[in-house]
Chain A
Amino acid sequence: MVEPKVEPMLVAEGVRKSYGSVEVLSGIDLVVMPGQVTCLVGPSGSGKSTFLRCVNHLESIDGGRLAVNGQLVGYREEKGRLHELKEREACRNRACVGMVFQNFNLFQHMSALENIIEAPQRVLKLSKEEAINSARELLAMVGLSTRGDSLPSQLSGGQQQRVAIARALAMKPKLMLFDEATSALDPELVGEVLSAMRALAASGMSMVVVTHEMGFAREAADEMVFMDAGLIVERGSPDQVLDNPQHARTKAFLTKACRPYCRL
């Protein structure tokens, strides 16, 4: 490709985060290019989810820099020092990053359609008609065009997660974060969510995906990153990391946790 100069979608430089005396992230460096899918894997407590939550400033960071689409998230820089933004400004600046949670977190008192149109109306100030139109397209995209009026409690876990994906996409994000999006689903329902995510990746969305689904990672990821104890231990193409892990910690994790997938 001879594109002149592509700005990265996400740049993390030496990101640090502590809860009290416990350091959860001890300097994370990560670059995600536009349209790239990066899968974060690693044991529980390795800081994968915390890192995602730092990317859209649901958590503040204690050191380093995080920029999405060339813009700092939740902070502004003055004389080389970061200043945390006020909540209101941070909200505006967070809206360009979509997030999908492990437990779906659909608004329980709203129908699927209402879930999707809420933020575009309140945050992007779209009219109700515009919001509904784009919500219907998104519902069709995730294969739920007939379930717009259903409440979350009337949907299966897989359907709820697909609504949650549509809800995040309604904000027209530049970057999508998936925090173990299939971990709360039973095995039968994992597939429908993964195929929605695969379609999204194929459409050119930049994604950071925390997952234990090694099959998905191998198929959809451009880069695979293995984290342990708040550090990136190993990175590379999925085939490289899954089939030929270099680091002992990666090897131990992959053989123990994901044996069925590694034989794929």
Chain B
Amino acid sequence: MPEDRPAHELPPIPARYPGRRVASVIVLLIAAQVLISVITNPRFKWDIVGEYLFSDIILSGVRLTIGLTLIAQLLGIVVGVGLAVMRLSPNHTVARCAWVYLWFFRGTPLLVQLIFWYNISALYPKFTIGLPFLEPFVSFNANALITPLAVAILGLGLNEGAYMAEIVRGGILGVDSGQSQAAKALGMTHSQTLRRIVLPQALRLILPPSGNQTILMLKTTSLVSILALADLLYSAQSIYTRTFQTIPLLIVVSLWYITITSVLTVGQTILEQKLSNGSSRQAPPQMLRWLLSGIVRPRRNQRLDQKKLESTDG
């Protein structure tokens, strides 16, 4: 036991911070008060929340929201990678075109873009495929082609592409230039270098902000309720305009958004852990364990360290 040894051989005693304990108690008290009021205030109408949480109309809204998020984000990633490669191209015309795309889509509000796409048939009643100054090869009627769902996917995806482009470009620039030099010196072409060497390494840098963007996209899809698309928010609205249970239904909506966000966060953490091999950097800590350990035993790590020290000493 450490007590048997002279004091100078014992490990140093860690500093105490009584102020931190007091702060913890205050914060926990406030949190408890908020929680109690939320549970006991009858106007939250938790019974109605429970009634609608798994109702068919809400569930179909959840499905549309998830589907729209995934498709639009996927489109955004594809467009973003393309634009990022264009912006880094040695061809200046191509690089500047990509810049103009970014400038436009980042410079106008998404809501405006969505309404704009919705009314595109006023601007172009017909869509045609062909070359300038020649008769078109194929033509489509805009109204038949541009359904609200198509508008939602296009509007969200193309806008997302502009943001993803910057994230991907940042990732590519973040890979040490020595990597592409080495690939070049080995005789690999520009596109081989990009596909085999640079992009796989850029992925690790691209992933965390992309997770962010996906979560952002989940909530941005609620904008499509203005297109009368029955997403999660629109479904809830359609119920509360009938029943006037606005607050409980907004709680239902929030619960679903939070749940899906949590699932996405877990997915992101798993992906990051998978990609973390090859780097000396540590994967992010498991969030739940971190949250709990922070509250339940604030100085657990320090104590563990101390114990380890003692056991190796003794």
Contacts and interface: CB of A to CB of B under 8 A. Distances in A.
A65 interface: no
Interface residues of B, number: 22
Given A103-B178, A107-B197, A95 B184 contact: no
Interface stretch (B96-104, B137-145, B185-193): B185-193
A147 to B, nearest CB: 15
A170 B277 CA distance: 25
Contact of B187 (A92, A107, A164): A92
Interface string A163-189: 010011001000000000000000000
Contact of B196 (A97, A98, A118): A118
Interface string B267-282: 0000000000111100
A91 B181 contact: no
B71 to A, nearest CB: 29
- The secondary-structure label for the interface of chain B is helix
Contacts of A118: 186, 188, 196-197
A108 B182 contact: no
A94 B189 contact: no
B279 A101 contact: no
Interface in B68-83: none
A91 B278 contact: no
A106 B179 CA distance: 7
B188 A105 contact: no
A153 B187 contact: no
B178 A101 contact: yes
A109 B187 contact: no
Given A58-B181, A107-B179, A123 B187 contact: yes
A122 B184 contact: no
A56 interface: yes
A108 B185 CA distance: 16
Interface string B178-213: 110111111111101000110011000000000000
A139 interface: no
Contacts of B188: 91, 118-119, 122-123
A6 B302 CA distance: 71
A109 B192 contact: no
A79 interface: no
A99 interface: yes
B172 to A, nearest CB: 14
A53 B82 CA distance: 30
Contacts of A168: 185-186
A129 interface: no
Given A107-B197, A153-B278, A153-B279, A119 B186 contact: yes
15 contacts: A58-B184, A88-B189, A101-B185, A105-B181, A106-B182, A109-B200, A109-B201, A118-B196, A119-B187, A122-B196, A123-B186, A123-B187, A123-B188, A153-B278, A167-B186
The 8 closest A-B pairs by CB, nearest first: A95-B187, A119-B186, A105-B182, A105-B178, A99-B185, A123-B187, A109-B278, A153-B280
Given A101-B185, A107-B182, A119-B183, 10 more contacts: A87-B189, A91-B188, A101-B181, A109-B278, A118-B188, A119-B188, A122-B196, A123-B188, A152-B278, A164-B182
Interface of A: 56, 58, 87-88, 91-92, 94-95, 97-99, 101, 103, 105-110, 118-119, 122-123, 151-153, 164, 167-168, 171
Interface of B: 176, 178-179, 181-190, 192, 196-197, 200-201, 277-280
